[in-house]
Amino acid sequence: MNAPSTLSAPHNPGMDEDTFEQFAEQLTRYVRERLIPAEAEVIANDRIPDEIVNEMRDMGLFGLSVPEEYGGAGLNMTQYARVVNIMAYAAPAYRSIFSINVGMFASALKNGATEAQKAEWYPQIAEGKIACFGLTEPGSGSDSAAMATTAVPDPDGNGWILNGTKRYITNAPHADVALIMARTSKEALPKNAHVSAFLVPMDTPGVSTGSPDKKMGQSGSHISDIMLDDVRVPGDALLGGETGKGFRFAMQSLDNGRISVGAAATGYARRALDSAMRYANERKAFGEPIANFQLIQQMLADSEIEIYAAEAMMKDVTARADAGENILVKAAAFKVFASEMCGRVVDRVVQVYGGAGYLAEYDAERFFRDARIYRIYEGTTQILQLQIAKHLLREWKDS
């Protein structure tokens, strides 16, 4: 895989490298010594303890990608993915609580917000306000032409009135602000210009959320519907101050979200493999550790090979992003490979555990359930395969 030609002149230098490495080392200790021991409580109560959320705020995790001038850490993409990868070694809920802030929401502000919008929202999310991203609906996900949520001009002022329902929205039950995609044109327009984006505080009259959905895995991470019933927002809630660009802002920010999911899947696969290594050396059969058996070794080796490949992809795609390259295809490719890889690794880990891997008292069963969603959100594997192929064919025809 070719390295970006512009790496010598990074588009986004990020945090000073020595400072970042110290932070990464501190964060690794925090994950191992604080977050992992608290996993049982998170799972039992299906929520992260408030004191841990506050600790994460104090560490600056909610503002990792917010520019320094607005109170954030100003990390570049390489550093951001490293942080997600480190955090994802622990239960997925820990990453989920801040990932929308530093991934899709902050990216949408960077790509499309006015200076006034940046000045208003960057400091708030840097200090720990929780964001959510309202794209998916009961009848539409990747199909923007089917989007039913509407935004019409408010006849009583210069604002907008929003109506509709958003589904499967991460952090919605406790979010402070949502980036809501809504159609500002009844007709589907080229390049999805019928969709605009709105910054909507969750305490705005008419905004409500459903009960958190019960899920297969990822305890402590909450999703729910967002209902919008004649929600009135001012004119400056329109992201970028211009209609017809919301979907483009959303898609650009999804590159960050896909890198985040890929980095998380890679970190969680590493956690699962480490667990399998420990179990294989402790569990004995026929008088010796099962780690001595060659077919067990094959599963461990195959997992290491695939994790290493995903780690290499992560380094490459984030370096390209920091160099200013268009990473739409490569971010999608990384997300697909890493999420599918994680699924294969956790499946092998259950197999290494044997019968114990099917029991809830062992970690392997949880790893298996938690990992399944990585292949679905921020673009299913199948949607991203179509997207990758579409761009490949377009580039081939243009060449």
Looking up residue 380, the CATH number of its domain turns out to be 1.20.140.10
Residue at a domain's end among 102, 129, 156: 129
> Does 341 reside within a domain?
yes
Cβ contacts of 88 within 8 Å, gap of 6 or more: 95, 263, 264, 265, 266, 267, 268, 271
CATH of the domain at 185: 2.40.110.10
Q: How far apart are CA 71 and CA 58, in angstroms?
A: 12
Closest CA to 267 of 338, 179, 349, 164: 338
Query: Does 239 lie in the same domain as 280?
Result: no
Do both 197 and 335 map to the same domain? Answer: no
Cite the beta strand spans of the chain per DSSP E. 131-134, 150-153, 160-170, 177-183, 195-201, 207-209, 223-233, 284-285, 288-289
CA distance 362 to 364: 6
Q: Are residues 26 and 39 in the same domain?
A: yes
CATH number at residue 116: 1.10.540.10
pLDDT at residue number 104: 84
Shared domain for 240 and 264, answered yes or no, is: no
Residue 345 counted as domain residue = yes
**Residue after which a domain boundary falls, among 224, 246, 268:** 246
Residue 166 within any structural domain of the chain: yes
75 near 20, Cβ under 8 Å? yes
Give the residue from 182, 211, 246 where a domain finishes: 246
- The size of the chain, in residues, is 399
Residue 61 CA to residue 368 CA, distance in Å, equals 27
Residues 114 and 144 in one domain: no
Contact 353, 257 (CB under 8 A): no
| DSSP for 16-45, written as a single string | -HHHHHHHHHHHHHHIIIIITTTHHHHHHH
**Same domain as 350, residue 257:** yes
Quick one: pLDDT at residue 2? 41
- Which residue in the list 311, 325, 378, 395 is annotated as catalytic? 378
Residue 46 domain flag = yes
Asked if 56 and 80 sit in the same domain, the reply is yes
263 and 229 within one domain: no
Instruction: Evaluate whether 181 touches 135 at the Cβ level (below 8 Å).
Output: yes
Asked if the structure places residue 277 within a domain, the reply is yes
d(CA 56, CA 194): 38
Q: Does one domain contain both 203 and 109?
A: no
378 catalytic per annotation = yes
Q: Which of 46, 138, 60, 142 is nearest to 101 (CA)?
A: 60
Token pair for residue 109?
Answer: 């502000």
Same domain? 166 vs 278: no
What is d(CA 83, CA 64) in angstroms, rounded to the nearest whole number? 9
Neighbours of 213 (CB within 10 A): 14
Quote the CA–CA distance of 386 and 340 in Å, as a whole number. 16
87 shares its domain with 179: no
Distance CA 385, CA 398 (A): 20
pLDDT reported for residue 10 = 52
Do both 276 and 229 map to the same domain? Answer: no
154: Cβ contacts below 8 Å, ≥ 6 apart:
160, 161, 232
- CA distances to 78, 155, 259, 320 from 316, rounded to whole Å, are 9, 50, 11, 6
* Residue range of the domain that includes 282: 248-398
Q: Per the domain annotation, does 288 fall within a domain?
A: yes
Number of domains composing the chain:
3
In a domain, 12, yes or no: no
Structure-token pair, residue 321: 């992003």
**1 within a domain of the structure (yes/no):** no
10-residue block means of pLDDT along the chain (399 residues)?
Answer: 42 83 96 97 94 94 92 93 96 91 87 93 93 88 78 91 94 94 84 88 96 90 95 95 83 85 97 98 95 97 98 97 93 97 98 96 96 92 95 91
Rounded to whole angstroms, the Cα distance separating 278 from 256 reads: 33
Q: Are 67 and 73 in contact (CB under 8 A)?
A: no
- Which residues, including other chains, have CB under 8 Å from residue 111's CB and lie 6 or more apart? 249, 252, 253
Q: How far is residue 244 from each of residues 46, 110, 188, 254, measured CA to CA in Å? A: 39, 17, 11, 17
Please give the Cα distance from 75 to 12 (Å, whole number). Answer: 8
